[in-house]
Amino acid sequence: MIRKIIKPSSEYYSVHIPKEYMDKRIEILVLPFNDDLEDNNKEINKNNQLLEKTAGLLRTRNIDPVKWQQSIRTEYER
């Protein structure tokens, strides 16, 4: 599979098709690229970093996670 993201400067673009695709049915798509995907990936990466830093935090403190969560939620409901 070949995937390439470009920023064309003309309405015409030449596509090189590799030899292994010759005499086979192939699909060529032209779609606008969504730049929001990069922002979403950055957000997911931040969330993963937070998860890695806080994973197992409650285990060492002998805290019941359900009670801890309920107490946090009641702080915001007041």
Whether residue 65 contacts residue 58, with contact meaning beta carbons closer than 8 Å, is answered with yes
Structure tokens at 56: 């197992």
Helix, strand, coil percentages (3-state) for the chain, rounded to 5, are 50, 0, 50
Residues of the chain with pLDDT under 50: none
How many whole angstroms separate alpha carbon 43 and alpha carbon 49? 10
What is the C-alpha separation between 37 and 33, in angstroms, rounded? 9
Model pLDDT, residue 59: 66
